């Protein structure tokens, strides 16, 4: 197993744990994602059905963390001859995922199709990440 795969398998954001603690009784759920490596690219797919990606989604990379923020608003109305019923649901959701070191912010891309947001982050060359540099020791 490569170092990247070990990182990928074992690395979870502490924010995931914190966000799950707060979702509890409110009934909101975090954005469900799947992460995988496709060749030399990290692919994150987020399930976001029924939203307008241009208005309702923000994808950002800050300090090595990918953040997906989405807001959902749904409204249904039922009109009958003698009655009217309106129901709405809304909420904001955030999912933060750590990226492997060396991922360049400007290389990250996102696309949306059929209710799935796909974020692609090219991974740095393994040799560059794995290389070590000697640190000189000075005598005091």
Rounded to two decimals, the pTM is 0.65
CB-based contacts of 99, cutoff 8 Å, min separation 6: 42, 61, 64, 65, 66, 121
Which residue bears the tokens 């509890």? Answer: 24
Query: Does any domain span residue 136?
Result: no
Pairing assessment for the beta strands 116-122 and 41-47 based on DSSP bridges = antiparallel
Cα separation, 59 vs 69, whole angstroms:
6
Give the tens place of pLDDT for each residue, 105-132: 889 999 999 999 999 999 887 655 555 6
Contact 50, 121 (CB under 8 A): no
Q: Name the CA radius of gyration of the chain, rounded.
A: 20
Query: Does any domain span residue 73?
Result: yes
pLDDT of residue 34: 94
CATH number of the domain to which 27 belongs: 2.60.40.790
- Does the pLDDT at position 18 exceed 80? no
Cα separation, 95 vs 69, whole angstroms:
7
pLDDT of residue 35: 93
Cα separation, 90 vs 73, whole angstroms:
4
pLDDT of residue 38: 92
Query: Does any domain span residue 140?
Result: no
Query: Does any domain span residue 109?
Result: yes
Give the tens place of pLDDT for each residue, 20-71: 555 443 444 578 899 999 999 999 999 998 888 889 999 999 988 999 999 8
Question: Structural domain of residue 15, as residue ranges?
Answer: 3-130
Count of structural domains within the chain = 1
Q: Which tokens in the block code for residue 31?
A: 């954005």
């Amino acid at each position: 197993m490569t170092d990247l795969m070990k990182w990928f398998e074992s690395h979870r954001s502490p924010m995931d744990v914190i966000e799950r603690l707060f979702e509890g009784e409110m009934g909101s759920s975090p954005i469900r994602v799947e992460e995988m490596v496709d060749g030399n690219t990290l692919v994150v797919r987020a399930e976001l059905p029924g939203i307008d990606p241009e208005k309702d989604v923000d994808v950002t990379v800050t300090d090595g963390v990918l953040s997906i923020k989405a807001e959902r608003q749904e409204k249904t109305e039922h009109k009958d001859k003698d009655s009217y019923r309106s129901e709405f649901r809304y909420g904001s959701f955030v999912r933060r995922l750590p990226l492997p070191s060396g991922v360049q912010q400007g290389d990250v891309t996102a696309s949306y199709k059929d209710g799935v947001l796909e974020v692609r982050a090219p991974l740095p060359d393994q040799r560059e990440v794995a290389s070590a540099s000697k640190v000189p020791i000075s005598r005091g």
